Structure 1
Amino acid sequence: MNRYFYYCVTIVSMLNLMMFVPYLLIQDRYTGAISSMLLAALIGTTMAFLFTFVMKAFPGKGVPEIFAMYFPKWVTAPLMFFLGCMYFISASIVLNGFAVLINRFLNPDTSSIVVLSLLSLACVYGATRSTLTNIFIVEMGLILNVPLILMILFKSYRNSNLDWDAMLTIAQYWRNPPKLNSYAAAVYLFTGYSGYAIFNRLNPPNFRLRYRWLIPLVCCFIMVTSFFVPIGFHGTEAVASYLYVWSVTADSMTMEYGFLERVVFIFLLLYLNLSLVYTANVWHIAMEFFKSCLPKAKPQIDPERTPLSNWVIACILGLFTVVTSYLLDEKQDLRLATNWLILRVCVEVISVLFLFVLSIGAGGKKQST
């Protein structure tokens, strides 16, 4: 079961390569992005380690069941609904962003709303599957896509067009103090562990998480790559001109493997697969939080039949995503994503520390018994 935890960490860190995280970091490249990334690596790793302690103290239980052990329904229901909304927004931002990318780079003749509607239908179906099935979907998605993505990332460092002087120039600004926007963007790369707020239900009582040193290693590699490689390709000034900076960066690379020449098409297709897997996975997590608010809610890891509530909640999530995309433009989406990232920082720290305190109490009870 160790690998499933690291699947969640990997998919969150890698997917944000194509979203607003690199853009927000690059905007502060002279004014605190480097120190923000260093701080994010420290605090993000600490939060991840604390959360793994919580998992060990409550094997087989998700966050809704943990809260239900200590608080009445009228207290836990609003909290679970709020957490469900936080997860839902993260996946909707990703799906909406990729609908725009597909419309812009792959199929400009089709409306982004039509593309988003089709993607939402696929994600709704994936979200309604069982918790066990969803973690298997994440595994298959990563196995099929991550090796090619890593190959492209490593080849980017060997590209003759990469300007190492531009990267070293930006690195000299590490003394500037961190900024909230940059820190919120950078630390989000370390939050893949939060998927186990629901998937901890799959862990047996004797579960032990090993190789935790992989968390900072993987996340720091993705964070450094997402920030410095675009600067090396586009320069210290021009790099700030692009919203989806990695789509343009991928378009700057070529490969000599027969018909596989333009990297951007392969890169976008690979990340399209990851975005569908991620959105279906996170919508499932949000759905489980919303279901925990219902009376007589009972978690099921792998039910024989898909509950009707799964379809109702998932369809509402998909419909809300499409309607929101119709009402907001790209600038408003960016503002929403930035504010959500800042809010998520506060929610993450409070949630993890509070769960950590509960886990210490649970460990004391086990020793006393």
Structure 2
Amino acid sequence: MSWDAIRHSATYVRTMPTWGGGAAAAFLFSGATSLIWYQKIINWKTSTGQTSYSRILLITTGSGVLLLLVAYFVPIGFFGMEALQHLNYIWFSVEDSVRMKWFVVERLVYVYMLIFALYTFFGVISSWHIAFHYAKSFLINRSRKVEWLLLAVFAAVPFGFVYVVDINLFIRIGRYFVISRIIGNMCLIVLLIYLARKKSNAHV
């Protein structure tokens, strides 16, 4: 771990990020779209029955900032800023560089791959679940056949991408996706704030 590289990278805090870099960093905070659906079952209320906004702010902002700092500084500490430009799967390379001499698994990359696979599996299920309910909410006909048709489309698109898209095109699509997602999330948050204020003014 090179602390000099980490200190050098910290000096870029005054540099304006690009759209792609800013969108990739803001992707950690894009869970607001998921909370729109999951807030029905998450208990954000205190014992008095009021919504704890401080709890929401602490959990979302605190965890997001911590993950952002780790994701930014740790790879730079291992490889430096110049070497990272030539890596596609940065965290796989980071974990492959970690050795544990007195452990059952010597190379940490195997543990990381297992955790990453579980996280990816959970993310896919959660994303499909939310997208399915969002898509279903726009439909007038919500029969079982329509639901199965939506699931078939969700399953066919990823498998089609595997046979059509190569890794370079997939990375470019991912870059466009995170940029469009941050713009969409900002518009969604502005819309929700407007609707919330409109609703509160209606009750006055």
* Normalised TM-score (structure 2): 0.88
Query: Equivalent residues in 2 for 1:145-294 (5 A)?
Result: 162-202=1-41, 208-209=51-52, 210-211=54-55, 212-294=57-139
**Structure 1 residue 277, shift from structure 2 partner:** 0.6
Q: Percent identity?
A: 23
The gaps in structure 2 that reach 5 residues or longer are none
CA distance in 2, matches of 1:292, 1:268: 36
Give yes or no for the alignment of 1:340 onto 2:183. no
CA distance in 2, matches of 1:309, 1:207: 39
**Structure 1 residue 214, shift from structure 2 partner:** 2.7
**Structure 1 residue 361, shift from structure 2 partner:** 1.3
**Structure 1 residue 279, shift from structure 2 partner:** 0.6
**Structure 1 residue 323, shift from structure 2 partner:** 0.4
Q: Deviations over 1:101-142 (max 9, x none)?
A: xxxxxxxxxxxxxxxxxxxxxxxxxxxxxxxxxxxxxxxxxx
Give yes or no for the alignment of 1:356 onto 2:193. yes
CA distance in 1, matches of 2:178, 2:103: 41
SS of 2:17's partner is coil
**Structure 1 residue 308, shift from structure 2 partner:** 4.8
Letter in 1 for 2:51: R
Label 1:207 to 1:261 Cα distance change in 2 as closer, same or farther (>3 A). farther
CA distance in 1, matches of 2:77, 2:120: 26
CA distance in 2, matches of 1:173, 1:295: 50
Letter in 2 for 1:268: M
Q: Deviations over 1:235-270 (max 9, x none)?
A: 231122111100000000022453221100110111
The gaps in structure 1 that reach 5 residues or longer are 1-161, 299-306
* Normalised TM-score (structure 1): 0.50
Alignment check: 8 A CA contact 2:30 2:182 kept: no
The equivalent residue for 1:96 is none
Higher relative contact order (CA 8 A, sep 6+): 1
Query: Equivalent residues in 2 for 1:1-369 (5 A)?
Result: 162-202=1-41, 208-209=51-52, 210-211=54-55, 212-297=57-142, 307-366=144-203, 368=204
